[in-house]
Amino acid sequence: MSTYYRPTKTLKLKDVKGINYFNIKKGNGHDYSIEFEEHYIHFDVKKGNIIDLYRYGMNDGRMILDEITHHLGVYFVDEYDEDYQDYAEDETNVMTITFDREDL
């Protein structure tokens, strides 16, 4: 199981790097990850801004998002929130596909 998140306002990578107890690692392309205690969350960066964040499996990314909110005042919506699509950046690689039961 995974969950995708988006920030509700501009979130600069350099500001998140300023949270000194986060361990931030660069992956391939635009992919990064934040490690905090035993948990981690992945994210994409475009033009220096974090635009999409995602967690996998039983990993608890919420505590990382809570720390970002606490330090930087940026809130997040998840893919189950009706406003999720409203916060999509033009450069996002994350697409949402939904089906009505009637369509199946």
Per-residue pLDDT of the chain (104 residues; tens, 9 = 90+): 789 999 999 999 999 999 988 989 998 776 889 988 888 899 999 999 999 999 988 888 889 999 999 999 999 999 999 888 888 877 777 766 667 777 55
Question: Is residue 97 classed as helix, strand or coil in its secondary structure?
Answer: coil
- pLDDT at position 48: 92
Fold of 2-103: TATA-Binding Protein (3.30.310)
- pLDDT at position 97: 64
Backbone angles phi, psi at 2, to 5 degrees: -130, 160
- pLDDT at position 103: 59
Residue 17 parent element (H or E): helix 13-17
Those residues whose C-beta lies under 8 Å from the C-beta of residue 59, and which sit 6 or more positions away, are 39, 40, 41
Q: What is the DSSP letter of 25?
A: E
